[in-house]
Amino acid sequence: MASDYLTNHRSPTRLMAVCRQFYQMVVTTPGCWTTVVLDPKIGYKHLPQYVERSGTQPISVWLFIYPFRWDGTSWPSCWPVVNAQRRWRSVFICTSPHAGYPHDLIPPTLPLLEEIHVRDQGAGISAMSVRPDYPKLRVLRAGGVNLVLDGTVTTTTLEELEFTLGPSTSIDRISSLLRLNPELRRLQIETSIQPSVVEALWMGVEEVVLPRLTSISFVCQSLGPVEALVYVLHAPKVSSATFTHYALESSVEDYFNILRFSIKRFPELDRIAFNGLITLEWVRSIMDELSPCLQEGRTITVTLENMGDFTVQGSNSEGEPSQWVEV
């Protein structure tokens, strides 16, 4: 069955209504009951049934937060799920605009937890607290939400990490989390704060070594903060970089500086994607200027939002301009 809540949360009861054989099959199959939904709009009467029929199977917990609908009094109705927390394998938090965020939403002891996903449907959650000490956590996606790390940072199994960098972000805890997870393969950093603030936050931070990282992504109001963020990362295996921004003040020079710095910083980089306000003419001009940065024989694919892919071949030893090839 599909794991997505929108297609799966009512699938068991729908299948049970098909016929008697389907009813018996669904009732006796624990895997049909492993997606558990905590949603004030549909209530909590179904929770004991789902928890019981899922048996000993790991479960995925979906939590929906609405303005003025979720508070501490909701937890007693959810105790069947809370009591089964040792079976939680993944947590999906879906928010709506202007929804509040309970500080102790995710239990601190989840020995099987592998994934945390936060889907912010607007500027609803300003910060989300997570205790990064889950022993099997592989994926932490909290894009659009300021990540607050509570307690001692001990998680060492992360492979994917997305977070938003805010003025109150603890850089010491974030850098500790990165250093403790050398198996990290995908990293996405979002920020809307000014470049000078980013530089001040990261000033003095020692280099973070991520030997397995292959994909890196930045979502910013402007390109200014990117260089400060890239500077602290030593990730020699990065082959793909994505830059997303929608600020009018970015210029050709901004793109040129970021590209030049990224190419030098990531020696295996062969694919760059731009999403936001950029024109084909800008990229052609920038890449032609970057030819001295590209070793002979090196090829980079540039993807432009709504424009397709282009490849640029590195200049030869005499420094002739790069050659553009539309893919």
Percent with pLDDT over 70 in the chain: 72
| Residue 30: Cβ within 10 Å count | 13
pLDDT of residue 77: 63
Query: Which tens digits make up the pLDDT trace of 164-207?
Result: 877 777 788 888 889 999 999 999 988 877 777 777 777 778 88
pLDDT of residue 124: 46
| Average pLDDT across the chain, whole number | 76
Sequence-ordered alpha helix ranges (H) in 9-161: 11-16, 20-27, 47-53, 79-83
Question: Which residues does the chain have with pLDDT short of 70?
Answer: 1-10, 66-77, 79, 96-105, 120-128, 132, 144, 151, 222-224, 246-252, 277-280, 283, 286-287, 289-293, 312-327
Contact predicate 312/299, CB 8 Å = yes
pLDDT of residue 290: 65
CA 32 – CA 52 distance, rounded (Å): 12
Enter the pTM of the model.
0.82
pLDDT of residue 184: 96
Position 56, amino acid: T
pLDDT of residue 221: 72
